[in-house]
């Protein structure tokens, strides 16, 4: 038994007080099924069967990422420090540029080596950015800066929020997709060095 069948056979089922069932391919390539407590094994198996193509597609994506990761050196603490220093020079300039275009103010700018987020905006306008953005194309950095600054207009992800994003950065979807596709690899290179 190999490939997809092995992944399905080795599925880990986690039952919690959730209402819906969901699938996830873990970083090591195994399948995780998050299920409501009372859902039967038969219903879980049917859900897995119905989503075979999703499982195959995402397992292949994780395998590709792992293959690429194996060819790359992990980021060292010195690499991360150099990225953070560069980010402190580059990001404030991009924030100033786009804040003026959007017509918003902001508070403090912080650069971190976060493991999950690329950026965030607090209610009082403080902005946080991930130093790994220095390893992405400049348009990716700009897309994150615009996203966070538009939260100064709308602290949600409503239609109005995205209208504000697209008004200033019409190519947002393309670079957001780049980050979704490539960002996990950057984060795992950082984690591999620790």
Mean residue pLDDT across the chain: 90
Q: Does residue 83 surpass a pLDDT of 50?
A: yes
Q: What is the pLDDT of residue 1?
A: 46
DSSP string covering 4-73: HHHHHHTPEEEEES-SS-EEEE-TTS-EEEEEETT--HHHHHHHHHHTHHHHHHHHHHHHHHHHHHHHSP
pLDDT at 155 over 50: yes
* pLDDT exceeds cutoff 50 at 86: yes
pTM: 0.69
Mean pLDDT of all residues in 95-118: 93
Q: Given this model, what pLDDT does residue 173 score?
A: 95
Of 59-73, 129-143, 147-161, 165-179, where does mean pLDDT reach its minimum? Answer: 59-73
Q: What is the CA radius of gyration of the chain?
A: 20
Residue 191's pLDDT is 74
Model pLDDT, residue 184: 82
Q: What percent of the chain shows pLDDT beyond 70?
A: 95
Domains and their CATH numbers in the chain: 3-71 (no CATH), 77-192 (3.30.2010.10)
Q: What is the pLDDT of residue 193?
A: 55
């Amino acid at each position: 038994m190999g490939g997809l069948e092995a992944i399905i056979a080795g599925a880990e089922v986690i039952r919690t007080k959730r209402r819906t069932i969901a699938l996830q391919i873990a970083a090591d390539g195994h399948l995780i099924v998050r299920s409501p407590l009372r859902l039967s094994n038969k219903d879980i198996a049917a859900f897995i069967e119905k989503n075979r193509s999703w499982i195959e597609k995402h397992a292949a994506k994780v395998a590709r990422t792992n293959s690429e990761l194996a060819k790359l050196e992990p980021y060292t603490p010195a690499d991360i420090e150099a990225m953070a220093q560069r980010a402190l020079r580059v990001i404030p300039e991009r924030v100033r540029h786009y804040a003026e275009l959007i017509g918003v103010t902001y508070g403090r700018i912080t650069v971190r080596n976060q493991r999950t987020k690329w950026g965030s905006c607090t209610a009082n306008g403080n902005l946080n950015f991930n130093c790994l953005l220095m390893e992405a194309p400049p348009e990716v950095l700009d897309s994150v800066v615009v996203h966070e600054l538009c939260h100064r207009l709308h602290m949600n992800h409503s239609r109005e929020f995205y209208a504000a994003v697209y008004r200033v950065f019409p190519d947002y979807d393309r670079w957001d997709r780049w980050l979704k596709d490539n960002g996990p690899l950057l984060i795992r290179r950082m984690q591999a060095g620790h």
